[in-house]
Amino acid sequence: MEVSCLELALEGERLCKVGDYRAGVSFFEAAIQVGTEDLQVLSAIYSQLGNAYFHLHDYAKALDFHRHDLTLTRTIGDLLGEAKASGNLGNTLKVLGRFDEAVVCCQRHLDIARDINDKVGQARALYNFGNVYHAKGKSICWSGAEPGDFPEDVMIALKKAAEYYEANLAIVKELGDRAAQGRTYGNLGNTHYLLGNFGKAVASHEQRLLIAKEFGDRSAERRAYCNLGNAFIFLGEFEVAAEHYKRSLQLARQLKDRAVEAQACYSLGNTYTLLQDYERAIDYHLKHLIIAQDLNDRIGEGRACWSLGNAHTALGNHDQAMHFAEKHLEICKETGDRSGELTARMNVSDLQTVLGLSYSTNNSTLSENKEIDYNLHGAKPRMSRRHSMENLELMKLTPDKMNVRT
């Protein structure tokens, strides 16, 4: 019995709806093999193939199919179809880092939506526009700088992102679309955070949290808590940040998401370091270490060792500190992290000096070692690095400079 293109496409559609994109792709490709003379059906197949490949992170193929869809919709003069194809193509180009082309697609999406007076379409195009400028801003000059202190072109892109999100919000509020408001508040919050507007970031993420709770969306709720924690760190409110990270940790555990659980533990470890509660910091960094090992995440493990080394040093536990510093060094060598390796070598050498001193000063106790750090900081200038952990300097000292904010 012959299976028609339409039947194959319907099965592909069903499979994608339940999240089985791999199988969905097979059915859509089979549908194309059979072929159809109905160009609307073909457009829907191209579009869904593009989205399926997008979800499978095969962006080159997603780009191909959304392009086919765009060409087709233009050929048959299907304006609404063209708007949708432009939106999808824009999102795909954004992920590929081709922001200028993505902007053209977003504009086309927006123009058509305005022409046909489609408010929902306009809002969606504005959200995509915001996302493109947010991603562009982040891509230009990301590492090394602090939020609010990026180069001019980064700030311009981020400000544009905020404007588009605000324009989107005006429409989705008018439409009463709470789900869309939630998404926009989340991304607007992250944009304000990068712009250094931490108060506004908190206000946005609080709205996001409220909407996530309305929908019982625990995954969005967890994201909001994590993002709120990050913003409170920069407001210098470490205790508040810790409370938010703890909620984020609880939800990560409920959601059985080990990677984000590890992330929350790591953020908590860093927060307690900022609060100079090194025992708690160690507790959370150890939790992070265990998960990183379970997930076979060597880079995460290296960071955990680095953090544990610092916390133990702060407590004067130099033997433990040495253990983690050596482990950090070993992992950095393995992962080819040159700057981490340099930091680790300095730490090992510092600790060797301290441990050498402790043995030569008639078995001085660990707490006395701590005194030595302070007293001899002139002779060993690098030890001053640890004392600066008492403030936000921690973030500048982390291997990739951004750990606290993750």
Query: Nearest approach, Cβ of 403 to another protein (angstroms)?
Result: 6
Does residue 258 touch another protein according to CB under 8 A?
yes
Q: How far apart are CA 261 and CA 283, in angstroms?
A: 14
Among 138, 280, 345, 380, binds another protein (CB under 8 A): 138
Radius of gyration of the chain (CA): 26
122 versus 369: smaller Cβ distance to another protein: 122
154 versus 274: smaller Cβ distance to another protein: 154
The distance between the two most distant Cα atoms of the chain, rounded to a whole number of Å, is: 91
Neighbours of 145 (CB within 10 A): 14
Among 15, 93, 102, 194, binds another protein (CB under 8 A): 194
Does residue 47 touch another protein according to CB under 8 A?
yes
Query: Nearest approach, Cβ of 248 to another protein (angstroms)?
Result: 10
Does residue 24 touch another protein according to CB under 8 A?
no
42 versus 314: smaller Cβ distance to another protein: 42
Please choose, out of 185-193, 314-322, 365-373, 379-387, the segment that lies near another protein by the rule CB under 8 A. Answer: 185-193
Q: How far apart are CA 190 and CA 171, in angstroms?
A: 20
Query: Nearest approach, Cβ of 11 to another protein (angstroms)?
Result: 10
Does residue 340 touch another protein according to CB under 8 A?
no
Query: Nearest approach, Cβ of 37 to another protein (angstroms)?
Result: 14
Distance (Å) of CA 363 to CA 317, 324, 353, 367, 373: 14, 22, 14, 11, 15
Query: Nearest approach, Cβ of 97 to another protein (angstroms)?
Result: 14
Q: What contacts 171, CB < 8 A, 6 or more positions away? A: 119, 122, 123, 126
Name the CA dihedral angle for 217, 220, 224, 225, rounded to a multiple of 10 degrees.
70
Please choose, out of 39-47, 319-327, 355-363, 377-385, the segment that lies near another protein by the rule CB under 8 A. Answer: 39-47
Please choose, out of 188-196, 277-285, 366-374, 377-385, the segment that lies near another protein by the rule CB under 8 A. Answer: 188-196
Structure-token pair, residue 228: 């709120």
- Closest listed residue to residue 351, CA positions, set 325, 387, 372: 325
Contact set for another protein, span 211-250 (CB under 8 A): 211-212, 214-220, 223, 226-227, 230
Contact set for another protein, span 378-397 (CB under 8 A): none
Please choose, out of 79-87, 271-279, 318-326, 356-364, the segment that lies near another protein by the rule CB under 8 A. Answer: 79-87
Q: How many residues lie near another protein (CB under 8 A)?
A: 81
Residues 106 and 132: beta-carbon distance below 8 Å: yes
List, as one string, the DSSP characters of 111-150.
HHHHHTT-HHHHHHHHHHHHHHHHHHHHHHS-TTSPTT--
Query: Nearest approach, Cβ of 364 to another protein (angstroms)?
Result: 37
Does residue 124 touch another protein according to CB under 8 A?
yes
Among 243, 297, 330, 368, binds another protein (CB under 8 A): 297
Does residue 43 touch another protein according to CB under 8 A?
yes
3-state secondary structure 26-62: HHHHHHHHHCCCCHHHHHHHHHHHHHHHHHCCCHHHH
210 versus 366: smaller Cβ distance to another protein: 210
245 versus 372: smaller Cβ distance to another protein: 245
Report the residue count for the chain: 406
14 versus 387: smaller Cβ distance to another protein: 14
Residue in the block written with tokens 């409110």: 237
Does residue 102 touch another protein according to CB under 8 A?
no
Does residue 299 touch another protein according to CB under 8 A?
yes
Please choose, out of 82-90, 279-287, 314-322, 353-361, the segment that lies near another protein by the rule CB under 8 A. Answer: 82-90
Residues 186 and 208: beta-carbon distance below 8 Å: yes
Please choose, out of 96-104, 139-147, 320-328, 339-347, the segment that lies near another protein by the rule CB under 8 A. Answer: 139-147
Does residue 88 touch another protein according to CB under 8 A?
yes
Residues 188 and 211: beta-carbon distance below 8 Å: no
225 versus 351: smaller Cβ distance to another protein: 225
In 3-state terms the chain splits into helix, strand, coil percentages (rounded to 5) of: 80, 0, 20
Q: How far apart are CA 358 and CA 353, in angstroms?
A: 9
Query: Nearest approach, Cβ of 43 to another protein (angstroms)?
Result: 6
Residues 282 and 323: beta-carbon distance below 8 Å: no
- Closest listed residue to residue 130, CA positions, set 167, 98, 96, 101: 167
